[in-house]
Homo-oligomer: A and B are copies of this chain.
Amino acid sequence: MLRPERQTFREGKSILVLAAGLKSVDATASEPSGLDRLLALLGDDLKQVNRLIVEKMHSDVALIPQLAGHIVAAGGKRMRPLLTLAAARLCGYQGTRQHALAACVEFIHTATLLHDDVVDESALRRGRATANAVWGNKASVLVGDFLFSRAFQLMTADGSLAVLKILSDASAVIAEGEVQQLLTANDIETTVEAYLSVIGAKTAALFAAAARIGAVVADRPAADEEALRVYGQALGMAFQLIDDLLDYTAREADLGKSIGDDFRDGKLTLPVVLAIARGSADERAFWRRCLEDQDQQDGDLERAIALCERHGTLAETLALAGRYRDEALAALHRFPQGPIRQAMEEVARFTVDRGY
């Protein structure tokens, strides 16, 4: 077996050149995220998290920080660690434990992305070439494992078994969701329930855990923990619904990933699941050819979008995301009014607004 990536491993220079080249395709850096207000309030906390991320990513095996840095730094909005930081402050916590735990959350997320690269073969993620495309499957899997282990080392050093339980539970659920997604891929019989179960596990579980551990470090009662879990879970659902919607509606430059990726991969996301359920026999045959048999031709994506529009499934996806947004907003009611709560509300609102 020949290994085209060998040169990259050996020559630090090649990696730098590659990294420089990749930066130019980073389309997400200036993308509005709805996080601006949160960033303004939590900038100092986030600086500490970023410092820890760089410090704890270190390994004497130089490829690890190189590869991990590639994806950790790749225009990521740090949405999940920001949830931990925000929740801790919302709960009135004055300490600094949340910094290392927010870094754990980002490491788990990054490990998932690295492993998802192997899984999804998506050509673009966060607007850059995937780590996988640059370094190969092998390195992506192993560096993901390293980051995952590092996350558990950091949690252990923090010493809260409650946090360890929340994040190890979330990690298991994420893996289950990813496997479930694999099983529903290319299956036009996929139900709305199966779709919601997949995104609840692969995406929303980490949002929920990230927000919840903020209440844990603040040593707040179970009801506050639960409210923040619900906020994170509902926000994660809205986030993924809109992400899946944008794959059929966004302009490429806005999204930072290629439009039509999910269609080409045969992923059964909500706009399509609903369109299939409402489709004629002819339409079902179209979906089967495109998504199950993966036999796609020019114009098929356009026809898919037209079918989703005709059956109103894009609007319905947006509406469902709106209901999750409302659930997220309602979960915050028990917390005191103030700039942090306002900023967390803004995140929920913007998450859905970007779908318009």
Give the shortest distance, in Å, between A199 (CB) and chain B (any CB). Answer: 14
Per a CB cutoff under 8 Å, which of B115, B143, B148 touches A179? B143
A121 within 8 A of B: yes
A40 within 8 A of B: no
Closest to A146 in B: B175
Size category, A interface: 35 or more
Give the shortest distance, in Å, between A111 (CB) and chain B (any CB). Answer: 8
Give the shortest distance, in Å, between A29 (CB) and chain B (any CB). Answer: 28
From DSSP, what is the main secondary structure of chain A's interface residues? Answer: helix
Bound-state Cα–Cα, A142 to B117, Å: 12
Copies of this chain per assembly: 2
A41 within 8 A of B: no
* A143-170 vs B, Cβ < 8 Å mask (1 yes, 0 no): 1011011101101110101001100110
Q: Which of A57-65, A75-83, A248-256, A268-276 makes up part of the contact surface?
A: A57-65
Per a CB cutoff under 8 Å, which of B1, B115, B157 touches A294? B1
A196 within 8 A of B: no
* A168-201 vs B, Cβ < 8 Å mask (1 yes, 0 no): 1101101110111011011100000000000000
A124 within 8 A of B: no
A3 within 8 A of B: yes
- A-B CB contact pairs (8 Å), 14 listed: A10-B187, A61-B179, A118-B137, A118-B138, A139-B179, A142-B175, A142-B182, A146-B176, A149-B174, A150-B172, A153-B169, A155-B168, A156-B165, A159-B161
